[in-house]
């Protein structure tokens, strides 16, 4: 599978964990072993293609070593179908509803956590990658903040985000859109103790409430403007085709 990586789409990700080595005796061939693979790619058909290749490799390795192999699919989730009609409504409400305000203590706590992340990716770096020099300047303006407080301009994009979510499955059934809000110190990497440590902090709760207000306001817009609902449904139909 390691050698397969240069023969699949560069956006694909193939992660693995050896979850059962069969035992811990070093001088015997164990009766069984197990490995779990997580395969990701921008589109469902690409994932299916990589999955078939990984299964072929497993069967080939079994033939080569004179054993049997069983392949099981434990779970799967689809890529997210974006919906620009809903995104525009969400963006408008992100800009209309006041941003959370943070206390001196919250800002100081966030700065302490930032000091434990010397290699964190800055806003200037992130925005430069997606928006060029204009993005770099925008990010640099806010990088001195320990908790980022800004609303990004709406920029429709088909660029995949490298994460997996069952929201993707929902997006194949009905028009779906998402927002991302600040809930932690600027530059906090995911899957870290710093992210976990901030899960019940004041900024996390303030971000939660801000997101809820944006979603609720967007629901009101959809209830009061049936044409927006129709536009979202029409776009969904076109993307599904």
Residues of the chain under the 50 pLDDT cut: none
Find out whether 106 and 203 touch, Cβ atoms under 8 Å.
yes
Burial (CB < 10 A; 0-12, 13-18, 19+), residue 202, is middle
User: Which of 166, 136, 149 lies closest to 210, judged by CA?
Assistant: 149
Q: What pLDDT, on a 0 to 100 scale, did the predictor assign at position 228?
A: 97
Q: Which residues pair with 176 in a beta bridge?
A: none
* Cβ atoms within 10 Å of 233's Cβ, excluding its own: 14
> 54 φ, ψ to 5°?
-65, -40
Q: What pLDDT, on a 0 to 100 scale, did the predictor assign at position 164?
A: 84
* Cβ atoms within 10 Å of 35's Cβ, excluding its own: 12
Residues in contact with 234: Cβ distance below 8 Å, sequence separation at least 6, in sequence order: 85
Helix (H) / strand (E) element for 21: namely none
> Which of helix, strand or coil describes residue 15?
strand
Buried b / exposed e along 167-188 (16+ C-beta atoms within 10 A): ebeebeeebbbbeebbbbbbbb
d(CA 201, CA 185): 10
Radius of gyration in angstroms for the set of CA atoms belonging to the chain, rounded to a whole number? 23
Q: What pLDDT, on a 0 to 100 scale, did the predictor assign at position 157?
A: 83
Q: What pLDDT, on a 0 to 100 scale, did the predictor assign at position 117?
A: 93
> 94 φ, ψ to 5°?
-60, -35
């Amino acid at each position: 599978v390691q050698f397969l990586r240069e023969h699949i789409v560069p956006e694909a990700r193939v992660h693995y964990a050896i979850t059962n080595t069969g035992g811990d005796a070093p001088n015997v061939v164990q009766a069984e072993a197990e490995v779990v693979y997580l395969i990701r790619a921008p589109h469902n058909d690409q994932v299916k293609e990589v999955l078939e290749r990984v299964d072929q490799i497993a069967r080939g390795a079994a033939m080569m070593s004179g054993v049997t192999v069983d392949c099981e699919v434990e779970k799967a989730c689809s890529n997210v179908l974006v919906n620009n009609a809903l995104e525009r409504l969400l963006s408008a409400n992100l800009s209309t509803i006041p941003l959370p305000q943070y206390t001196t203590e919250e800002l100081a706590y966030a700065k302490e956590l930032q000091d434990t992340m010397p290699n964190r990716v800055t806003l200037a770096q992130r925005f430069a990658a997606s928006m060029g020099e204009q993005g770099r300047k925008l990010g640099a303006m806010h990088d001195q903040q320990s908790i980022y407080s800004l609303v990004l301009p709406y920029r429709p994009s088909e660029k995949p985000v490298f994460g997996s979510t069952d929201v993707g499955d929902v997006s194949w059934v009905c028009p779906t859109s998402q927002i991302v809000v600040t809930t932690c110190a600027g530059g906090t990497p995911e899957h870290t103790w710093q992210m976990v440590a901030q899960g019940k902090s004041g900024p996390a709760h303030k971000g939660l409430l801000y997101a809820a207000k944006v979603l609720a306001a967007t629901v009101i817009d959809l209830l009061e403007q049936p044409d927006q609902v129709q536009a979202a449904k029409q776009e969904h139909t076109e993307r599904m085709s």
